[in-house]
Amino acid sequence: MRLIARYAKENETHFEIVTVYDVGLEKEKIPKDAPVLHSIAVKHPAAVWFERKIHDDFGIRIEGAFDNRPLVHQERFPSGLYPMQKAFDKTQIEEDPYKPYAYEAIGGDGVFQVSVGPIHAGIIEPGHFHFSQAGEDMLHQEVRHFYKYRAVEKMLEGKTLWEAKAVIERISGNESIAYQTVWRDILLEASGTELPVSLRKTHALLLEMERLAHHFTDLGFIPNDAGFGAALAYGSRLSEDVRRQLKALSGHRFGFGAISLEGVSMDREAMSEWIEEITSRLDFFESWINDIPSLWDRFDTTGILSQQNALAYDTVGIVARASGVAVDRRATPFYEAHGFAVQTGERGDVSARFKLRLAEAKHTLEMMHNLLDEKSEKVEAGSVKDGEYHSFAESSIGELFMAIDIKEGVIERFFVRDPSFMNWQALHLMMPGNIIADFPLINKSCDLSYAGNDL
């Protein structure tokens, strides 16, 4: 049974804990006076971040947890304040005195600590990485994020689905179309609207283009972090061409506003020629990269995530599939009817994750031919009904989950679980047995989002 998400919501008389598995969801009522929730992190280690967030958001004490440190609250966040409680209405807070964060660390003779971030030497979002080192060898790593809490969950309360869309599609820029897709499916379910097949194909095409843009970027950055900068130039050019085509189709390079219920006209022949051109250039890139032995010396056996650990930490996306875990939300009758088949690897190292991105990019280009339509039909959404809704999409990073409760026509509770929220927690398992100089390479091979965590 695979854990997907665990989150809380506040009702008038109690808190409700929702735990989502791949086989269904479970609900548990927690009294508001001295609320306590039993941890499931022993069985599902990735639950620990969910449970720490539940405490920081709502003040619910986690019983039986092996980690009760703050997650979202930073060192000066005031004690006793829980922003997701309905009564919380502060626009400013007074900081507490500094409380040091107790990083996980290994001690011993010759062992020392290395801290990287949260500010980095480059254009990168804030994230902290704490290493225990014996010389160059990494013994342990802890990931710490949540430096730019944006209050997205709180911000969207009281908004309609349509009002929330502009915020939702900007939560994580490299997954904008995926976020819009899960929003769309909730809108369709809540309004009882059926999407025409032609429009569903267009939306799927746009989502695959987003996947291409990020796979191409990663296919350039991974060799770059192994010292081969020419690959980054080539991969960036491929990604830029996808961005320009995405703007031509949707009006924005990152696809903001791309998923709508309006019909879209497309020059199918021109689009097909563009796909063929990109395919040809990707074939050249693959032949070129395959003929550089020094790169594969760096990729092979670096940053291994075993299948056992990939399953234990409920990983998703490339991280899971490169370790032989065939989890992909596109495994549906609609996608399979248009040529989709799950791609997997076996070795779970940087090499496997790189090769899998190549295979997925090639497969996406093949599938895009089947998703082309000259014109997709327009559809009108009906009125939105109150209820609890959730949906999934396969972003370029992996499985994206969103849940929205609607009450009196507006959002009562918004929750989203980015695929990176799962995969960041498994990153430390890839470090032992490698040198610290390989950390950027291992990290980039997973392509994880910072913004997707820092809601």
Q: Does residue 268 belong to any structural domain of this protein?
A: yes
Burial of 101 (0-12, 13-18, 19+ CB in 10 A): middle
Name the nearest CA neighbour of 177 among 400, 423, 421, 8: 400
* One domain, residues 209 and 326: yes
Strand partners, 69: none
* One domain, residues 268 and 411: yes
Q: Which of 124, 144, 164 is the last residue of a domain?
A: 144
Q: Does residue 425 belong to any structural domain of this protein?
A: yes
Domain of residue 231 covers 156-446
Gap between the Cα atoms of 350 and 423, Å rounded: 15
Q: Which of 144, 169, 190 is the last residue of a domain?
A: 144
Gap between the Cα atoms of 293 and 297, Å rounded: 6
Gap between the Cα atoms of 348 and 358, Å rounded: 15
* One domain, residues 138 and 185: no
CATH number of domain containing 271: 1.10.645.10
* One domain, residues 135 and 161: no
Q: For 69, what's the count of Cα atoms within 13 Å in the CB-facing half-sphere? A: 13
* One domain, residues 385 and 241: yes
Q: To which H or E segment does residue 320 belong?
A: helix 317-321
* One domain, residues 66 and 202: no
355-371 burial, b at 16+ Cβ within 10 Å, e below that, comes to bbbbbbbbbbbebbbeb
Count of the separate structural domains present in the chain: 2
Q: Does residue 452 belong to any structural domain of this protein?
A: no
Q: Does residue 451 belong to any structural domain of this protein?
A: no
Q: Does residue 387 belong to any structural domain of this protein?
A: yes
Asked whether the beta carbons of 128 and 144 are under 8 A apart, the reply is yes
Residue 133 CB coordination number (10 Å): 18
Q: Which pLDDT does position 302 carry in this prediction?
A: 98
Q: Which pLDDT does position 376 carry in this prediction?
A: 79
* One domain, residues 137 and 162: no
Q: Which pLDDT does position 21 carry in this prediction?
A: 98
* One domain, residues 48 and 79: yes
- pLDDT tens series, the chain, 455 aa: 999 999 999 999 999 999 999 999 999 999 999 899 999 999 999 999 999 999 999 999 999 999 999 999 999 999 999 999 999 998 888 999 999 999 999 989 999 999 998 988 777 889 999 999 999 999 999 999 999 889 999 999 999 999 999 999 999 998 999 999 999 999 999 999 999 999 999 999 999 999 999 999 999 999 999 999 999 999 999 999 999 999 999 999 999 999 999 878 888 899 999 999 999 999 999 999 999 999 999 999 999 999 999 999 999 999 999 999 999 999 999 999 999 999 999 999 999 999 999 999 999 999 999 999 877 788 889 999 999 999 999 999 999 999 999 999 999 999 999 999 999 999 999 999 999 999 999 999 999 999 998 99
* One domain, residues 184 and 301: yes
Q: Does residue 359 belong to any structural domain of this protein?
A: yes
Q: Does residue 455 belong to any structural domain of this protein?
A: no
* One domain, residues 342 and 210: yes
Is the bond preceding 118 in cis, omega lying within 30 degrees of 0? yes
Q: Does residue 150 belong to any structural domain of this protein?
A: no
* One domain, residues 139 and 235: no
* One domain, residues 168 and 316: yes
| Helix residue ranges per DSSP H, 137-228 | 152-155, 161-168, 176-191, 197-224
Residue 96 CB coordination number (10 Å): 14
The angle formed by the CA atoms of residues 113, 316 and 428, to the nearest 5 degrees, is 10
